[in-house]
Amino acid sequence: MKKFLFVALLCFCGANLFGQSITVNDLTNLTNLTNADAHKYLVLAKGFKKAYTQELDGNTIEHLSKTDAEKKQESVDIGVALKLSSGAILRTVTYKTARTEQIFHLISQAKSQGLPMKFQGADTINNIYQFDNDFFHIVMYISRDNTSGYVEVKQKEYVGFD
């Protein structure tokens, strides 16, 4: 039991050491929540606040933002969804930051969690890292000039055997 508490404390302190406010698990879990629940989680647990909402393709997209002690802006967009003919809803969550090391930490987390990297490359604007499994399609972008980055997590339709 003491070892478990020590490991939990170490992980908690490690996350705070890097000022990490969002993890890969947070982003993937947000895709499973309703907009109201995702909003509550981001506001109460992660310190984000509502910036604005907009209507797009029948979805109410909510933009939440946060500024850390170093005045580095972070934002999360929730509410992008695709309703399937089966009635299932597939959600997309987007995280943006002006702190590129945060994206590098997310890439490391994805690798350490065993998410298969399907693509690593670059275009004229961004370095691109794509992870994909049965449940999520995750693309992480880091600007080539290292001034910003963003992550897009798309929930996938899981075709399993019942």
**pLDDT confidence band for 15 (50 / 70 / 90):** very low
d(CA 93, CA 79): 8
Least Cα distance to 143 among 114, 119, 123 occurs for 123
Sheet containing strand 49-56, edge to edge, reads 49-56, 59-67, 73-83, 89-97, 149-155, 136-143, 126-132, 117-122
For residue 157, name the pLDDT band (cuts at 50, 70, 90). confident
Cβ contact 140:128 at 8 Å: yes
- Is 13 a residue whose pLDDT tops 70? no
Three-state DSSP class for residue 77: strand
**Which residues share a beta bridge with 52?**
63
How would residue 115 be classed by pLDDT, with cut points 50, 70 and 90?
very high
Q: Say what the pTM is.
A: 0.83
Lowest-pLDDT range of 33-37, 85-89, 128-132: 85-89
Predicted confidence at residue 58, as pLDDT, reads: 85
Q: What pLDDT, on the 0 to 100 scale, is given for residue 8?
A: 42
The 8-class DSSP code of residue 116 comes to: P
CB 63 within 8 A of CB 53: yes
Question: Could you say which DSSP state residue 98 is in?
Answer: S
3-state SS class at 36: helix
